[in-house]
Amino acid sequence: MTLTITGLRVAIRDTQILSGIELALHKGQVHGLAGESGSGKTMTGFAVLGLLPHGARASGRIELAGRDLLGLPDKELNRVRGNDIAMVFQDPSTSLHPMLTVGRQLTEHMRPHLGLGKAEARERALELLTKVRIPNPAEAYRRYPHQFSGGMRQRIAVAVALACDPQVLIADEPTTALDVTVQAGILRLLRGLCDELGLAVLLITHDLGVMSAIADEVSVLRDGLVVESGARKSVLRTPTHPYTRSLLEDLP
Ligand SMILES: Nc1ncnc2c1ncn2[C@@H]1O[C@H](COP(=O)(O)OP(=O)(O)OP(=O)(O)O)[C@@H](O)[C@H]1O
């Protein structure tokens, strides 16, 4: 087991956002988190990263390698966020800085977090660009995000997320903003990286089609609670909860 969430509750002011989430992520597996808009998918990812909105109160346990992330001081949580857990967002421009070259964005966290020198960091950056299938990595290293297509930008955002060799990758609607023709490529890439690097991936999506393409396990979230969880085949083929059945019936 890589990351375990138990009894996670989050409230913002008087509103209960998450009401006792139970979730386990495993090395080399993609865990899909499904549910309608507002069910709490993104908040679950933010809680794991310690990025909840200001004023949010969280309780429960988020355990990674024997440590409860909810109890960590900010400084240590920052280190976990850099080294152990990374996130990819729906819109790559959220994770990529428009004014910095791809090379700078890939290497700037790598150097302090992995203790690499300039040349070593560049070498690792080029390897990562190759891994996410960016053509001509040496040239891409010198370019800026706007010089790439949306799909290529998302690949670069994935490379940046992997820069410090995390164990856990949270991908929040990673294909929703992309043209349908490039969506499958990004999903294949995530699946391949999960297998190759032994990553534990939390794939957040409202799209059960995306889920069925790459998830090993699926949890269905409703109003801040997991109502159904299990192997992808059983949840998507023989759902037991009426809410999961209604989500599947709504599929085109
Ligand atoms: N900064 C905030 N302050 C107060 N409430 C918030 C804040 N951000 C989100 N919420 C509320 O938290 C709940 C869960 O939101 P969340 O973004 O996790 O849902 P989601 O399942 O990811 O939805 P979507 O698919 O639309 O992104 C929603 O009711 C939302 O209105």
Structural domain including 128 reads 90-165
Ligand 1 center–CA 17 separation, angstroms: 7
The mean pLDDT value of the chain amounts to 93
Residues 75, 104 within the same domain: no
pLDDT digits (tens, 9 = 90+) for 220-240: 999 999 999 999 999 999 999
| Ligand 1 atom having least distance to the Cα of 206 | 25
CATH for 19: 3.40.50.300
Residues 76, 31 within the same domain: yes
pLDDT at 60: 97
Residues 78, 126 within the same domain: no
Could you tell me which residue, 36 or 24, shows the higher pLDDT?
A: 24
Residues 26, 70 within the same domain: yes
pLDDT digits (tens, 9 = 90+) for 95-117: 899 999 999 999 998 888 888 99
Of 165, 192, 208, which closes a domain? 165
Of 120, 148, 165, which closes a domain? 165
Residues 161, 225 within the same domain: no
Residues 101, 140 within the same domain: yes
* Whole-complex ipTM: 0.94
Contacts of 123 (CB under 8 A, 6+ apart): none
Residues 181, 238 within the same domain: yes
Ligand 1 center–CA 4 separation, angstroms: 22
Of 165, 183, 214, which closes a domain? 165
- Predicted TM-score (pTM) of the model is 0.93
State which of 9, 12, 87, 172 you would mutate to test the pocket of ligand 1, scoring each by most atoms of that ligand within 8 A of its C-beta.
Answer: 12
Ligand 1 center–CA 10 separation, angstroms: 11
Residue 94 pLDDT exceeds 90? no
Long-range CB pairs of 39-42, under 8 A, 24+ apart, other chains included: 39/221, 39/222, 39/223, 39/224, 40/10, 40/221, 40/223, 40/224, 41/172, 41/204, 41/205, 41/206, 41/221, 42/172, 42/204
| Ligand 1 atom having least distance to the Cα of 40 | 18
Q: First-to-last CA distance in the chain?
A: 35
Residues 57, 123 within the same domain: no
How large is the average pLDDT for residues 172-183? 90
Residues 175, 249 within the same domain: yes
Residues 103, 78 within the same domain: no
State which of 8, 14, 17, 51 you would mutate to test the pocket of ligand 1, scoring each by most atoms of that ligand within 8 A of its C-beta.
Answer: 17
pLDDT at 95: 81
* Ligand 1, residues at Cβ distance < 6 Å: 12, 17, 35, 37-43, 53, 206
pLDDT digits (tens, 9 = 90+) for 198-224: 999 999 998 888 888 899 999 999 999
pLDDT digits (tens, 9 = 90+) for 59-92: 999 999 889 999 899 888 888 887 899 999 998 8
Ligand 1 center–CA 31 separation, angstroms: 20
State which of 14, 39, 172 you would mutate to test the pocket of ligand 1, scoring each by most atoms of that ligand within 8 A of its C-beta.
Answer: 39
pLDDT digits (tens, 9 = 90+) for 1-33: 689 999 999 999 999 999 999 999 999 999 999
Residue 154 pLDDT exceeds 70? yes
Contacts of 2 (CB under 8 A, 6+ apart): 25, 26, 27, 64, 65, 167, 168, 200
pLDDT digits (tens, 9 = 90+) for 124-139: 999 999 999 999 999 9
Ligand 1 center–CA 70 separation, angstroms: 19
Name which residue sits closest to atom 4 of ligand 1, judged by CA. Answer: 12
Residues 104, 152 within the same domain: yes
Domain count for the chain, please give it. 2
